Structure formats: C-alpha cells, structure tokens
A and B are shown apart, each in its own frame.
Chain A
Amino acid sequence: RKEVEQDPGPFNVPEGATVAFNCTYSNSASQSFFWYRQDCRKEPKLLMSVYSSGNEDGRFTAQLNRASQYISLLIRDSKLSDSATYLCVVRGGGFKTIFGAGTRLFVKA
C-alpha cells in the first residue's frame, strides 16, 4: 500500500461545478497535512494547510479525518483557472514528507 494515495483522476468538470478530491495516508503518526497545486510544467505551490477542525479559504475547503486517515479538498464554483494537478502532502515523524501522485483537474467552459 502506498504511503499517500489519491484519486487517480483526471476529473473533467464544467465551470461552476463542485468537485471533491480524496486522499488517504497509511502512517497514523503523521502530523501535518497540506494540499499543493501544480500547474502544467510548473513547480508545486502550497494551496492550503489542512487542520483537524477543517478549514476554508474562499471556494476551497479542506477536511482531515485522523480516525480514518483521510484528507479531502472541496472546490466550489469551479473556474477555468482551477485546472491543475492537486497534490496531497503528508508530513510525519522525523519531518518526513510524502507527496501523493496528484489528481488532475480539467475545468471546461
């Protein structure tokens, strides 16, 4: 089993749609969780951290379920500019950081 697994995608959605990405992690000692965004042929950039209480940033909502070792990212009212690959990132003991393989999102007009 991979340490961090994401929905394989790609997701193809129309503008204005709501889309959700899921991520599971295997190490129960993991401490910090993040979502990164990576545009085509660009470097990953931090989208948002994920907190146990859940957090929201505009159209983006991240949730963490430690009991199920599950992280999610919800994007509401999708824009064309949201088209990218979304990487789930898990940081555990010894500050070891594992990136998921990413989920590709295409938002269509």
Chain B
Amino acid sequence: EAGVAQSPRYKIIEKRQSVAFWCNPISGHATLYWYQQILGQGPKLLIQFQNNGVVDDSQLPKDRFSAERLKGVDSTLKIQPAKLEDSAVYLCASSLYRGEGSDYTFGSGTRLTVV
C-alpha cells in the first residue's frame, strides 16, 4: 500500500512570500489532516477534511492560511503571506474513517523555513 505523499520535502522562502504544499492521501482514506509541527513541540492540527468537507479548522490562522480538498482526494495548504513564525514541518495525515480507534498515517512532511 502506497503511503501518504507530500511535496515538496523542503522549502525556503522569504517572509511575506507565499507558499503551497501538496498532499496525496492513501487511496480510499476519507479523512485528511494537516498538522503544523514547530521544533520541539508536538503536531498541532490545522485543518481536518472528511472527503471534501471541512470538519475542523478552528486552529487554522485563516488570515494567512488556506486549504482545500476539492475532489475529496488530494489537498493543498497555502500560506500567504508567510511570517517567520510559520517555520515548521507541515505534516499531512490520512485515516480510513473518523471512528474511535482509527489511527493516522503521516506523510514525511514538508520542512518550511521562512527567512
């Protein structure tokens, strides 16, 4: 079974620039998550999709972050404009269903450095 694919692996941008990350979940996984992991911290959920609908985006800084999952498969996460504090690893994860006990499969992440 192919895993969760993310690209790019690394990205360096200047503050105030924009950036986009892409995620392709495991085939058949209805639920997709974007997490932000700042160095030394645990992953923080930014947004959760169920198919192509948003389930939870309460911690997404909506003034600069946006995400979409138009066809219920691939997803993109965008930051515009980026700030220094956005430097982090952005992890995408997917799960088969939202039910209790389901666990996630994470992609290898995109490491963003804002300078």
Binding site for B on A (CB under 8 A): 4, 31-32, 34, 42-46, 49, 87, 91, 94-102
What 7 pairs across the A-B complex have the smallest Cβ distances? A99-B42, A43-B106, A101-B42, A99-B43, A46-B103, A95-B98, A32-B100
Cα A94 to Cα B107 in complex, Å, equals 23
Binding site for A on B (CB under 8 A): 33, 35, 40-45, 48, 55-56, 91, 98, 100-101, 103-104, 106-109
Cα A96 to Cα B33 in complex, Å, equals 11
| Residue from A32, A42, A97 whose CB has the most chain B CB atoms within 10 Å | A97
A5 to chain B, nearest CB (A): 11
Cα A74 to Cα B39 in complex, Å, equals 25
Residue in B55, B56, B101, B106 whose CB lies within 8 Å of A44: B106
Q: What are the residues of chain A within 8 A of B42 when measuring CB–CB?
A: 4, 87, 99-102
